[in-house]
Amino acid sequence: MAKSIELSNGRIFKTKKAAKQHFKDMLARYCDGEHVQDIEDHSDLSALLERFDLLVSDGPSKIGSGIKRFERRLNKGDGWSSPGFWVVRVDDTSTDFSYPQAVDGRPKSDAEEFSNACYNAVSRDLLRMKQRQFDHFSDPDGLIACDITGSLVAYSEAQLSHAHPPFGIIVKEFRKLKGWEDGVPPSTLTASTDAQISTHFVDEELAQEFLNFHHTRAVLKIIAKERPSFSMPEVSPVKRPLRFG
């Protein structure tokens, strides 16, 4: 039976899925930069942040000196952006937090954090690879065929996908190469701090080492972000493989 989620303000959800949908719908009601004005929304987010501090956070408290307000902001990384909730404290410091992670009530595993750092090490090169493909091979309308369905997609509708091996396998191979199957040495990854959207390698040389390893193994393809449910599976043969170097 699915376990219910009960927040400290008395809000109860029958399932984690229902809780995540509640906060997803809440996020959609606000625009980037807009403050959360609704009293019930503020109460739910405050209780959710308490849950984050209690069950998820392994660093400084997200609540910190106390909650002043919540806002929707656009989180940005190399080649991506997504909206999220931020808390502004009474001392005017602020930080982001993940509502799905708060609902799940567990910190990211060592493997998840390491994988995030690996992706951040190569994300700029992946973005450049995608841009290069569209610059050189798109048709007069700026469209490229999806490697799975063959349908034409624009840059904003496409994503660069690892064909074989999958990105997770490349990460596991690198950990094995380093002798880190059972754990990553302390201080290898950035510690959780305010406004740190994602995890990175502390040592730039290690980030470069993974980037070089990734580029020798990765085979990529351009696919549509959204595809019909009846389309060919993503494991189908790669028609137009993309490689670094």
Question: Can the peptide bond before residue 185 be classed as cis, meaning omega within 30 degrees of 0?
Answer: no
Q: What percent of the chain has pLDDT over 90?
A: 68
CATH code assigned to 5-104:
3.10.450.40
Q: Quick check: 172 pLDDT over 70?
A: yes
pLDDT band at 236 (very low <50, low <70, confident <90, very high): low
Q: Which of 54-63, 108-117, 233-242 has the lowest mean pLDDT?
A: 233-242
pLDDT band at 148 (very low <50, low <70, confident <90, very high): confident
Pairing outcome for strands 67-77 and 80-89: antiparallel
The predicted model scores a pTM of: 0.73
Q: Which of 72-76, 79-83, 138-142, 233-237 has the lowest mean pLDDT?
A: 233-237
Through-space distance between the first and last CA atoms of the chain, rounded to whole angstroms: 51
Summarize pLDDT for 87-102 with one digit per residue, the tens: 999 999 999 999 999 9
d(CA 7, CA 45): 10
Summarize pLDDT for 110-123 with one digit per residue, the tens: 888 899 899 999 99
Q: What's the one-letter identity of residue 123?
A: S
